[in-house]
């Protein structure tokens, strides 16, 4: 079998695995798409970009055709737009099937892009292993069945990392423009990507000069302006990306436990917030203030929590039972072990875009907190290193078996 036939077979099997998983695991008649979908439903119903409404003074995000939700910037608009477009498609069964097929196609493109990245910048012999890992890692297959931006984010981040490798002194301004547009699109999918984009721009500037960093940075800033302008007009205050940053900061820095949604003080104070267009801004400030109070008063616990967050992110999240599922935990340990082996056999200075992304993910977790999906979005960048490690083990085993036969 030629290499071309092999990769086509892997891609075909990857697509089938994702579609079958979707059809078996997803309630095709369901219509809940998390905060993204609830915002999209309000938008589709002519209620504007909104999320929270109140049922007998209790805040709710679940779509209600009779509700009058307040304006929102809780979720960036990237995946909301995707769900909004799919809401225009027939009934829930056909819509969900279409979403699964769409995300499965995107997942297959992710496999191909990882194959290309590994072949070009790591080791051509390792590229088929990268394709196999990306195609069949249960977590990546399952991601296509989840109505969240994970799969689209995987494609965007792997493409951005690949484009980061391709940047050199001769890179045209048009190419840098496209990198800037892709970067801002990823920020609109997952706002924490901003840190990685900033690091990538700094690396480009240090290695290749001001033209690269200024072009990329300018495009990112101007691409994000429409969303920021909308938020300023809506809330009469600057909201650069989301109104969920305070909640996420609190969940990682509070007196209760890492991941806690609130405490007695927040519950009490949140009830006093008027149910008007400024609700999310006030709630975000409340969470931020409470988190900063903890950070200032309990610096030792903050530092101690760094260790817990690192463990939850890089090893096992003991606070989330999903992390203990054998189809999640066992493949992760194998991927991590192979990735470490690949790291040891790879000159990391040649892989600054990949290392920068892994570092930015780790920093975000230290500041905020870790969930299994945060790890899922991070580990896509480990695949090429794991492929190098697996390729080495495969060659070593073949050599050992050959010696034993002789």
Q: What is the pLDDT of residues 175-184, one digit of tens each?
A: 999 999 999 9
Q: What is the pLDDT of residue 318?
A: 79
Q: How far apart are CA 180 and CA 58, in angstroms?
A: 41
Q: How far apart are CA 181 and CA 62, in angstroms?
A: 32
Average pLDDT over the chain reads 94
Percentage of the chain beyond pLDDT 90 is: 88
Q: Name the nearest CA neighbour of 309 among 249, 374, 350, 369.
A: 369
Q: In the predicted model, is pLDDT for residue 404 greater than 80?
A: no
| Alpha-carbon dihedral 191, 195, 196, 197, rounded to 10 degrees | 80
Q: Is 71 left (phi over 0), alpha (psi -120 to 50) or beta?
A: beta
70-85 mean pLDDT: 97
Q: What is the per-residue pLDDT across 247-297, written as a single tens digit (0 to 9) for each? A: 999 999 999 999 999 999 999 999 999 999 999 999 999 999 999 999 999
Q: How does residue 157 score in pLDDT terms, banded at 50, 70 and 90? A: very high
Q: What is the pLDDT of residue 405?
A: 77
Q: What is the pLDDT of residue 351?
A: 96
Q: How far apart are CA 114 and CA 128, in angstroms?
A: 10
Query: How is 327-347 classified by DSSP, letter by letter?
Result: HHHHHHHHHHHHHHHHHHTS-
Q: What is the pLDDT of residue 323?
A: 80
- Helix or strand or coil: residue 47? coil
Q: What tokens appear for 348 in the block?
A: 């990391």
Q: How far apart are CA 177 and CA 159, in angstroms?
A: 14
Q: Name the nearest CA neighbour of 252 among 309, 293, 176.
A: 309
Q: What is the pLDDT of residue 348?
A: 87
CB-based burial, 217-233: b 16+ in 10 Å, e otherwise: bebbeebbeebeeebee
Q: Which helix (H) or strand (E) holds 350?
A: none
Q: What tokens appear for 17 in the block?
A: 């695995």
Q: Provide the whole-model pTM.
A: 0.94
30-38 mean pLDDT: 94
342-365 mean pLDDT: 95
């Amino acid at each position: 079998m030629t290499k071309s036939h092999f990769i086509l077979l892997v891609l075909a099997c990857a697509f089938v695995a994702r579609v079958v998983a979707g059809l078996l695991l997803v309630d095709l008649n369901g219509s809940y798409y998390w905060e993204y979908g609830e915002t999209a439903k309000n938008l589709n119903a002519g209620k504007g970009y909104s999320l929270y409404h109140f049922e007998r003074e209790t805040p709710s995000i679940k779509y209600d055709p009779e509700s009058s939700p307040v304006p929102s910037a809780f979720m960036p608009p990237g995946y909301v737009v995707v769900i909004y477009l799919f809401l225009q498609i027939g009934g829930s069964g056909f819509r969900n099937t279409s979403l699964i097929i769409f995300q499965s196609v995107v997942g297959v493109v992710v496999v191909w892009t990882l194959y290309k990245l590994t072949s070009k910048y790591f080791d051509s012999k390792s590229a088929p292993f990268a394709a196999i890992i990306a195609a069949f890692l249960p977590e990546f297959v399952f991601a296509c069945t989840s109505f969240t931006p994970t799969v689209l984010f995987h494609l965007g981040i792997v493409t951005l990392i690949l484009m980061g490798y391709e940047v050199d002194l001769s890179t045209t301004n048009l190419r840098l423009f496209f990198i800037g547009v892709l970067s801002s699109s990823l920020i609109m999918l997952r706002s924490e990507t901003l840190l990685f984009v900033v690091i990538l721009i700094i690396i480009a500037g240090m290695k290749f000069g001001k033209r690269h960093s200024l072009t990329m940075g300018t495009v990112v800033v101007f691409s994000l302006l429409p969303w920021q302008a909308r938020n300023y007009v809506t809330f009469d205050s600057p909201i650069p990306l989301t109104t969920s940053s305070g909640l996420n900061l609190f969940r990682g820095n509070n007196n209760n436990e890492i991941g806690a949604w609130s405490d007695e003080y927040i519950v009490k104070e949140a009830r006093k917030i008027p149910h008007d267009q400024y609700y999310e801004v006030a709630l975000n400030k409340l969470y931020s203030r409470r988190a900063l109070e903890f950070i200032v008063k309990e610096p030792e616990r903050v530092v101690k929590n760094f260790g817990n967050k690192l463990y939850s992110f890089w090893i096992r999240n003991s606070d989330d039972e999903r992390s203990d599922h054998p189809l999640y935990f066992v493949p992760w340990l194998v991927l991590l072990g192979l990735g470490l082996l690949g790291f040891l056999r790879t000159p990391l200075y040649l892989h600054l875009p990949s290392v920068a992304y892994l570092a930015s993910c780790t920093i975000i977790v230290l500041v905020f907190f870790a969930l299994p999906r945060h790890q899922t979005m991070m580990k896509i960048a480990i695949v090429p290193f794991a492929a190098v490690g697996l390729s080495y083990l495969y060659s070593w085993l073949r050599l050992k078996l050959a010696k034993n036969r002789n």
